[in-house]
C-alpha cells in the first residue's frame, strides 16, 4: 500500500500531548503505523531504567540531544529541560517517542515520571506551533499512572501591535545581520583570522559609547561602510585583548594546549578550570594569569595525581558502556560539552514570524488597547488570514461565536483569526461562562494545530484588566480500541465511500425539495426507513438512488403530518412537543409511524394513539413533581421559541422566572400558579437588559 501522508487519519488519533496504550499489541501496531507513515520512531523500555538519571539520559539519547556513546552522569531537571529540544524532522514526517511499560518507572518515581511527560508534552506543543509532529506514546499495564494534567497553557498578552513599524524593525535587523556578516568575511580575507559577527556589532556599539550588549543603537543611525567597520573592529579587538576576562581565557587555552602536547591527557578548557578550582579549594594554592605564566601553571598541574584528572573528567560524562564504573576507574578521555551546542541548525524565521509568533504561541491572546486591535486586524488581513470579528456587546454574539467555532477553518494550511471586541461585556455579565467560552476557543486552537492549520484567538478588553489563567488543560489520552493495522484502511475507505454516497443523496434530495437539509437528518431518515445503523451499512445495501430519495420523501411527508397532530395534542395536555415525540416513538416504533400514516390513519385515531402514548410515558416517571416542572418549563420554551423566532436555553428561562419571583410584589411563576401561555406573556414583557444580565 502507498505511504500515507503526514496527516494520516489514524496518525491523527495520536496527535495528543501524551497517548497511553493499555494493550501492548495496540501500542506496537501504532508504532508500526507511524513507521509506515515516514516517522522516526525511538523506543525506550522503562524496564531497563529505574532512576531519574537513567530515564533522563534515555530521553536525551532518543531525542538526539546526547550522543549514544556518552552518558550524562548527574543530569538534573534544569539541565534536562534546557537540553531537551525537538529535533527538526528533515525529510521525515515527524518524531515518535515510545515508552514501553511506563508504569514501572511511575511506580519507582511517580514525581519524576509525571514531570518527564509534562516536559515532553510541552515539546509536543512547541513542535505543533512550527507545523511539525513530535508524538509521545506510552504503554502501561496500570491505569493509575499520570493522574495530573500533562499540558497546561494559559492566556497570553500582546503589547507589540501589528503596525508597519514592526516590519521596519525586522527589515533593519536583516540589514544589520547582512552588514556584520560581510564585515566578518572581509576581515577573514584580509587577516586570515576568523571573527564572530557579534564582535562586529559590539565594535560599532563601543565606538558610539554603548556598553556591548546592553545598549540599543538609535533606529535612525545606519552602520558605517566596510572600511570604517574594519577599522573599528581592529580597535575593539585590541582593546578587548587587555580585558581581564579575555586575558584569563587565553591563559587557560594556552595551559590546555601545553598539557595536551606533553601528556596522554586530552583536557579542554572546562576540565582545566575544574582542576584549578580543586587546587584552590582543597590544596589552598591559587594560580592566575597575573602570577603564573602558562608554562609554569601547566607544570604545576602536571604534577597533580591522576586521580584528580579522572575525577574531573568523570564528574559530568562517561562512556555509556562504563557508566556503572567509579569515576577513578574510567579511562581518561575528552568530555567536551559539545552537547550544549544545538545538533541541528536554527530554523530560518520568515520576516513575519516574530510578529505572528506572539499571537500563535498562546491559545488565547489578550489585547487591552483598541489601537493594538485595529492595527493587528489590518496586519492579519494583509497577511492573508481569514478574519472573523464579533462585537460582544451584541445580545446574540455568543451564539454567533459558537457557530464560528463549530465551522471548518481547520483545513491544512488555513489561517484564521477570531477577534472578540469588548469581551469585558461578556465577562461583566457572567465571568464563569466567559472563561468557559475562552476554554472552547483554546480547544479549537489546539485542534487546528493538530491539522496543520492556525486558528488565532484575539480577545479585546475595553475597560477590564485581562486575567491570566489556564484555558487549555489536557490530560494524557488513553487509547484502547483504535486499530492501527493496514486492515483499518479498508474499513476507512468503505466509510469514505459511504459518506460520499450519502452526500450525493443529500444533494439530490435538496434539489427536489428546493431547500437545504442537514446530512445527519438524511441519515436519520434512511436509518428509520431501512434499519441500517451506519452509513457503511447503507452503502453496502446497494440501495438505488431513486429508491433512497423516495424513502426520504415518504419520511418527510409523514413527519410533517404527525407534527400537526403533536402540536394539537401538546396544546390540549400542555406538554412539550419533544416529550410527545418520544412517547409516540416508544408506542409505535419509528418505521410504524410512517406506515400507519401511509395506511390512511384518521386524524382522530392518531390523536387517540398519541394521548395513550402520552399517558403511558407519564407513568414511566416516578418523580411526578419534578416531571411536572420539567414538562411545564419545556412547554414554556416551545411557546417562547414560537413567539421570539429563536430558541432559548431552558436553564436561562428558569433563572428569569426566579428573577421575576424576586421582584417586589411579584410571585415566581410555576406550573402550580400559571399556565405556559401566561408565563410566556410575562417573559416577553421583560427588557432585553434583564435577559443579558441573567445570561
pLDDT tens, residue by residue, 147-174: 788 888 888 776 655 555 555 666 677 7
Q: How confident is the model at residue 4 (pLDDT cuts 50, 70, 90)?
A: very low
Please indicate, yes or no, if residue 1 is contained in any of the structural domains.
no
User: Do residue 474 and residue 373 come from a single domain?
Assistant: yes
* Number of Cβ within a 10 Å radius of residue 217: 15
User: Do residue 258 and residue 228 come from a single domain?
Assistant: no
List of residues 6+ apart from 239 with CB closer than 8 A: 206
Please indicate, yes or no, if residue 266 is contained in any of the structural domains.
yes
Instruction: Give the chain's domain count.
Output: 6
HEC sequence for 461-498 = CCCCCCCCCEEEEECCEEECCCCCCCHHHHHHHHHHHH
Percent over 90 (pLDDT), the chain: 10
Over residues 565-590, mean pLDDT: 86
Model pLDDT, residue 75? 74
* Number of Cβ within a 10 Å radius of residue 169: 14
Q: What is the pLDDT of residues 476-525, one digit of tens each?
A: 988 877 677 777 778 878 888 998 999 999 999 999 988 888 888 888 88
Model pLDDT, residue 632? 80
Model pLDDT, residue 182? 87
Q: Which of 123, 148, 173 is the last residue of a domain?
A: 148
* C-alpha span between 211 and 221 (Å, rounded): 17
Q: Choose between 557 and 3: higher pLDDT.
A: 557
Model pLDDT, residue 90? 47
Q: What is the pLDDT of residues 380-390, one digit of tens each?
A: 888 888 888 88
User: Do residue 510 and residue 465 come from a single domain?
Assistant: no
Please indicate, yes or no, if residue 300 is contained in any of the structural domains.
yes
Please indicate, yes or no, if residue 136 is contained in any of the structural domains.
yes
Is 328:310 a contact under the CB 8 Å cutoff?
yes
Percent over 70 (pLDDT), the chain: 76
Please indicate, yes or no, if residue 219 is contained in any of the structural domains.
yes
Model pLDDT, residue 265? 58
Q: What is the pLDDT of residues 15-47, one digit of tens each?
A: 889 999 988 989 998 998 888 888 889 898 888
Q: What is the pLDDT of residues 229-258, one digit of tens each?
A: 898 888 888 887 777 878 888 888 888 888
* C-alpha span between 251 and 130 (Å, rounded): 43
Model pLDDT, residue 408? 53
* C-alpha span between 596 and 513 (Å, rounded): 23
User: Do residue 563 and residue 654 come from a single domain?
Assistant: no
* Nearest one of 205, 206, 204, 182 to 195, comparing CA atoms: 182
Q: What is the pLDDT of residues 185-218, one digit of tens each?
A: 888 888 888 888 888 888 888 887 765 544 466 6
CATH number of the domain encompassing residue 123:
3.30.370.10
User: Do residue 604 and residue 505 come from a single domain?
Assistant: yes
User: Do residue 418 and residue 430 come from a single domain?
Assistant: yes
The answer to whether the Cα torsion of 301, 307, 311, 314 is positive or negative is: positive
The residue segments making up the domain with residue 605 are: 500-620
User: Do residue 136 and residue 55 come from a single domain?
Assistant: yes
User: Do residue 133 and residue 180 come from a single domain?
Assistant: no
Q: Choose between 340 and 467: higher pLDDT.
A: 467
Q: Which of 217, 240, 263 is the last residue of a domain?
A: 240
Over residues 436-458, mean pLDDT: 87
Model pLDDT, residue 139? 93
> How confident is the prediction for the chain on average, in pLDDT?
78
* C-alpha span between 120 and 196 (Å, rounded): 34
Q: Which of 620, 636, 666 is the last residue of a domain?
A: 620
Dihedral over alpha carbons 189, 194, 196, 197 (to 10 degrees): 10
Model pLDDT, residue 490? 82
User: Do residue 265 and residue 218 come from a single domain?
Assistant: no
Model pLDDT, residue 602? 92
* Nearest one of 277, 239, 278, 271 to 255, comparing CA atoms: 271
In this predicted structure, the answer to whether residue 274 has a pLDDT above a threshold of 70 is yes
Please indicate, yes or no, if residue 357 is contained in any of the structural domains.
no
197: alpha, beta or left? (left if phi > 0; alpha if psi -120 to 50) = alpha
User: Do residue 121 and residue 59 come from a single domain?
Assistant: yes
Please indicate, yes or no, if residue 486 is contained in any of the structural domains.
no
Q: How confident is the model at residue 347 (pLDDT cuts 50, 70, 90)?
A: very low
* C-alpha span between 523 and 525 (Å, rounded): 5
Over residues 169-185, mean pLDDT: 78
Is 42:62 a contact under the CB 8 Å cutoff?
yes
Q: How would DSSP label each residue in 403-424?
A: HHHHS---STT-EEEEEEETTH
Please indicate, yes or no, if residue 419 is contained in any of the structural domains.
yes
Model pLDDT, residue 689? 66
pLDDT-wise least confident of 376-385, 458-467, 622-631, 642-651: 622-631
User: Do residue 580 and residue 523 come from a single domain?
Assistant: yes
* C-alpha span between 187 and 467 (Å, rounded): 52
Q: How confident is the model at residue 392 (pLDDT cuts 50, 70, 90)?
A: confident
Q: How confident is the model at residue 579 (pLDDT cuts 50, 70, 90)?
A: confident
Model pLDDT, residue 337? 37
| Residue 214 CA: distances (Å) to CA of 100, 195, 198, 206, 629 | 49, 21, 13, 11, 71
User: Do residue 22 and residue 66 come from a single domain?
Assistant: yes
Amino acid at each position: 500500500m502507498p505511504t500515507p501522508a503526514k496527516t494520516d487519519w489514524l496518525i491523527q488519533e495520536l496527535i495528543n500531548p501524551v497517548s497511553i496504550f493499555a494493550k501492548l499489541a495496540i501500542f506496537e501496531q501504532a508504532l508500526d503505523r507511524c513507521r509506515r507513515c515516514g516517522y522516526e520512531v525511538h523506543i525506550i523500555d522503562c524496564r531497563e531504567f529505574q532512576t531519574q538519571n537513567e530515564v533522563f539520559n534515555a530521553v536525551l539519547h532518543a531525542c538526539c540531544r546526547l550522543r549514544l556513546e556518552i552518558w550524562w552522569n548527574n543530569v538534573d531537571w534544569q539541565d534536562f529541560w534546557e537540553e531537551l529540544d525537538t529535533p527538526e524532522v528533515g525529510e521525515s514526517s515527524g518524531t515518535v517517542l515510545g515508552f514501553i511499560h511506563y508504569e514501572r518507572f511511575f511506580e519507582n518515581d511517580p514525581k519524576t515520571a509525571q514531570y518527564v511527560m509534562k516536559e515532553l508534552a510541552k515539546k509536543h506543543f512547541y513542535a505543533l506551533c512550527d507545523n511539525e509532529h513530535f508524538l509521545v506514546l506510552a504503554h502501561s499495564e496500570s491505569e493509575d499512572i499520570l493522574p495530573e494534567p500533562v499540558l497546561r497553557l494559559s492566556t497570553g498578552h500582546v503589547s507589540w501591535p501589528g503596525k508597519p513599524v514592526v516590519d521596519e524593525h525586522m527589515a533593519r535587523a536583516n540589514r544589520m545581520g547582512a552588514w556584520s556578516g560581510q564585515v566578518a568575511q572581509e576581515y577573514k580575507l584580509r587577516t586570515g583570522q576568523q571573527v564572530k559577527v557579534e564582535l562586529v556589532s559590539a565594535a560599532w556599539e563601543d565606538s558610539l559609547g554603548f556598553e556591548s550588549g546592553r545598549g540599543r543603537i538609535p533606529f535612525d543611525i545606519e552602520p558605517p561602510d566596510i572600511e570604517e567597520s574594519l577599522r573599528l573592529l581592529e580597535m575593539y579587538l585590541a582593546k578587548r585583548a587587555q580585558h581581564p576576562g579575555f586575558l584569563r581565557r587565553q591563559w587557560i587555552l594556552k595551559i590546555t594546549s601545553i598539557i595536551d602536547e606533553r601528556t596522554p591527557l586530552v583536557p579542554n578548557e572546562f576540565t582545566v578550570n575544574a582542576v584549578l578550582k580543586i587546587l584552590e579549594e582543597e590544596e589552598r594554592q591559587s594560580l592566575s594569569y597575573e602570577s603564573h605564566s602558562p608554562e609554569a601553571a601547566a607544570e604545576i598541574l602536571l604534577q597533580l595525581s591522576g586521580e584528580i584528572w579522572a575525577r574531573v573528567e568523570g564528574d559530568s560524562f562517561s562512556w555509556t558502556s562504563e557508566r556503572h564504573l567509579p569515576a577513578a576507574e574510567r579511562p581518561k578521555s575528552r568530555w567536551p560539552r559539545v552537547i550544549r551546542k544545538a545538533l541541528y541548525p536554527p530554523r530560518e524565521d520568515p520576516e513575519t514570524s516574530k510578529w505572528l509568533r506572539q499571537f500563535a504561541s498562546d491559545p488565547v491572546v489578550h489585547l487591552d488597547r483598541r489601537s493594538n486591535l485595529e492595527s493587528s486586524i489590518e496586519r492579519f488581513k494583509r497577511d492573508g488570514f481569514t478574519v472573523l470579528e464579533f462585537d460582544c456587546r451584541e445580545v446574540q454574539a455568543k451564539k454567533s461565536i459558537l457557530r464560528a467555532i463549530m465551522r471548518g477553518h481547520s483545513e491544512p494550511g488555513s489561517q484564521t483569526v477570531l477577534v472578540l471586541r469588548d469581551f469585558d461585556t461578556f465577562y461583566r455579565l457572567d465571568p464563569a461562562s466567559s472563561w468557559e467560552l475562552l476554554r472552547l476557543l483554546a480547544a479549537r486552537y489546539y485542534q487546528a494545530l493538530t491539522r496543520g492549520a492556525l486558528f488565532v484567538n484575539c480577545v479585546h478588553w475595553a475597560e477590564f484588566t485581562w486575567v491570566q489563567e489556564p484555558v487549555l488543560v489536557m490530560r494524557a489520552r488513553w487509547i484502547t480500541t483504535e486499530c492501527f493495522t493496514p486492515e483499518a484502511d479498508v474499513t476507512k475507505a468503505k466509510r469514505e465511500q459511504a459518506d460520499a454516497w450519502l452526500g450525493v443523496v443529500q444533494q439530490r434530495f435538496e434539489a427536489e425539495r428546493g431547500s437545504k437539509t442537514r446530512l445527519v437528518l438524511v441519515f436519520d431518515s434512511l436509518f428509520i426507513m431501512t434499519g441500517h445503523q451506519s452509513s457503511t451499512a447503507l452503502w453496502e445495501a446497494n440501495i438505488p438512488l431513486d429508491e433512497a430519495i423516495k424513502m426520504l420523501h415518504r419520511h418527510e411527508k409523514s413527519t410533517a403530518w404527525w407534527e400537526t397532530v403533536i402540536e394539537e395534542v401538546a396544546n390540549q395536555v400542555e406538554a412539550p412537543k419533544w416529550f410527545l415525540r418520544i412517547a409516540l416513538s416508544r408506542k409505535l416504533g419509528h418505521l410504524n409511524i410512517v406506515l400507519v400514516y401511509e395506511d390512511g390513519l384518521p386524524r382522530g385515531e392518531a390523536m387517540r394513539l398519541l394521548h395513550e402514548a402520552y399517558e403511558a410515558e407519564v407513568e414511566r416517571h416516578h418523580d411526578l413533581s419534578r416531571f411536572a416542572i420539567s414538562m411545564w418549563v419545556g412547554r414554556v420554551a416551545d411557546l417562547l421559541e414560537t413567539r421570539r423566532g429563536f430558541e432559548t436555553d431552558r436553564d436561562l428561562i428558569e433563572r428569569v422566572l426566579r428573577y421575576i419571583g424576586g421582584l417586589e410584589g411579584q410571585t415566581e411563576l410555576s406550573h402550580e400558579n400559571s399556565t405556559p401561555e401566561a408565563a410566556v406573556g410575562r417573559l416577553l414583557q421583560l427588557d432585553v437588559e434583564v435577559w443579558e444580565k441573567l445570561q
